[in-house]
Structure 1
């Protein structure tokens, strides 16, 4: 019977016990893990605390079934975000809000200015294609006086739903390369405007407008999480459910559980992540894509818990559901989840393999999948590309990891993503073991800039 006072103090002795049972010397285990023998020796003797990433790799190498990872101290949330304990936020503390009295946030514009800005945004972009996004945004910032001119050149036969639908796609494009905090005011105004239009519309148009408003609110939740504001992210997610129900869209309510699970996932809560999405993944009444996204998130939760078998099983289910969704034509409407990955299940497999302590396998998968990310999908390229660099660093390929990261870190400073910052911090820790490597030294300024962006 163990007499240790805490899980952290049990890790070293348990690691040594399992290493010896596997017939491995300390030197050989260090080689397999791409760690120094001296560092591992100090961990076994309880003189150093094991980082979570090392605990996962020890767990995988020794076949501990998640036991070693559970004994390691938990990893706190990174970036500008808040932890899982902030999920039940007081609504009054949420910075950006939409309610029956209009759009309000401290120190912001008044109602008339906000609605004018919203009209300018919608009418300025109109139904322009992706190539015109930059020009449309430039028109937008000219102010409310441009509304009349924009209306005169817009097509009279285009419904408000079509205009807002086109604008939503533009917002998603902007979300790939823009500080998310800059998009939130626009998304707030547009969500509010859609709801106001819905209240004045006939039944058919009202359902469409509310359904689209729900998609805006869901996207605003994602941008809030990217900006590091988890309470606002969850507030927006709740508003998306309410709007979706008003638009007779019951499926989106289930998808918001997938969104909520992303918050718990980045907070490091594997059990909550799996618990939120497991019912969604198994609900045969839901569209295959929503179930596939839920199964994918479930796989990430299992990987975080060190459960290799359950993670790969969930990934297989996700792949099957995505294939079924593609065969069905996707169900119409704006795509839920990312639209920039050719094979989402394959990409997330690479992500999970890293969390399961198998960095070399993860790097192989991520090398292949990252090559297919479109050039315009900057946020997606940075997210998965940095995970790829992290996998190579963990596999002992420091120079290759630095070469990958050198292309991506300049993008990170502009994206200001709290979730991507998690892997930037992990990459910095991994590379700290190779400080003597010239490539690592050369990368330090870019790493520092990404870790501590100027406000």
Structure 2
């Protein structure tokens, strides 16, 4: 494997034996910290447009750069660099998760949690737990997601933004436990949507709920779809997918697939095909494994029309990801 391919998979270990010269104390200008946060915001935006694979190498390399600076720095600058490094490790975990590289995703989430524990940042530790819960939900382990969020919420002194992250991820965990969990899902999302009003959207990490105007509608519709509440999910998706900004291309593609799945379950295959056509094109461009997994769920929902004309049209709609 050449170096570029090696870096693109994120396989180059983040932790390695350190050369003594790399830990020699030196002055690190504190202004480097806001620079890396600015870069982080750019990565968040690029992820929504491009998907994970074009960013993995860049983000993991920047984590190593930040980690090296932290080893050389001292005092408050060192602590701030470790904090920003943890947020990069979390993003690396998410990118691998979206790419379907589950083991590597768990590895990066673990690195982020270790960094957070090193500096004793309660919010950051709890944030890593919410992201670990997200991974468990994507793997179908709702009970683990609920328990990880309960652990995070047990930490005293959490900020509102971290409570929001934990509560909405806990709602996803409950949604995997069956439709009888609807009351818990609604209660958690309602509470989180009230708490989010006190969150400053300018904080550079943990504020996704303030950056997407449809954030809680997305969480609710996703949970409803998992629980088989397809009419309720479809009603919400129809609003979301007419108002998503063009820059959120990857996310919009995923949401279109979820809406199509609800349409198929409600006996509306023609509408499902129209939505799938646009969604499949986005999936081919962003190369998100998570998106393709959603399309696999849709394919199962469309099986009853396999031999009909609409079934053939559906397979043609998925051609961008099958060629």
TM-score by length of 1: 0.62
In structure 1, the residue corresponding to 2:14 is in which secondary structure?
Answer: strand
Q: Aligned residue for 1:266? A: 138
Match of 1:95 in 2: 11
Residue 65 of structure 2 corresponds to 193
Aligned to 1:444: 315
Number of paired residues?
Answer: 306
Q: Is the 8 A contact 2:51 2:250 kept in 1?
A: no
Q: C-alpha deviations, 1:369-388, integer Å up to 9, x for none?
A: 23332210112111222111
Pairing 1:236–2:108 present: yes
Cα distance, 1:448 vs structure 2: 4.3
Structure 2 residue aligned with 1:212: 84
Contact 1:177 1:414 in 2 (8 A): no
Q: Distance in 1 between matches of 2:150 and 2:237?
A: 26
Q: CA deviation at 1:394?
A: 0.9
Could you tell me which residue of structure 1 aligns to residue 166 of structure 2?
294
Partner residue in 2 for 1:169: 41
Contact 2:127 2:206 in 1 (8 A): no
Check 1:283–1:345 CA distance in 2 against 1; reply closer, same or farther (3 A cut). farther
Structure 2 CA distance for aligned equivalents of residues 358 and 318 of structure 1: 16
How big is the shift at 1:94? Answer: 8.0
Pairing of 1:6-405 with structure 2 (within 5 A): 95-101=11-17, 159-281=31-153, 283=155, 285-308=157-180, 310-330=181-201, 332-337=203-208, 340-405=211-276
* Contact kept? 2:133, 2:148, Cα under 8 Å: yes
Return the alpha-carbon distance in structure 2 between the equivalents of residues 175 and 94 of structure 1.
15
The corresponding residue for 2:23 is none
* Residues in 1 aligned to 2:205 and 2:142: alpha-carbon distance in whole angstroms: 29
Alignment match of 1:423 (pick from 275, 278, 294): 294
Cα deviation for residue 240 of structure 1 reads 0.8
Cα RMSD for the two superposed structures:
2.6
Q: Kindly tell me: are residues 282 and 366 of structure 1, through their superposed partners in 2, closer, same or farther at Cα, counting changes over 3 Å?
A: farther
Judging changes above 3 Å, is the alpha-carbon distance between structure 1 residues 401 and 340 closer, same or farther for their aligned structure 2 residues? Answer: farther
Cα distance in structure 2, aligned partners of 1:300 and 1:320 = 14
Whole-angstrom distance in 2 between the partners of 1:255 and 1:201: 25
Q: Label 1:338 to 1:419 Cα distance change in 2 as closer, same or farther (>3 A).
A: farther
CA contact (8 A) 1:340 1:373 kept: no
Which is richer in helix?
2
Indicate conservation of the 8 Å contact 2:199/2:210, yes or no: no
Gaps of 5+ in 1: 1-92, 103-156
| 1:413 paired residue among 284, 291, 306 | 284
| Kept after mapping to 2: 8 A contact 1:207/1:248 | no
In structure 2, relative to structure 1, the CA distance for the partners of 1:371 and 1:340 (3 Å cut) is farther
Q: Is the 8 A contact 2:30 2:77 kept in 1?
A: no
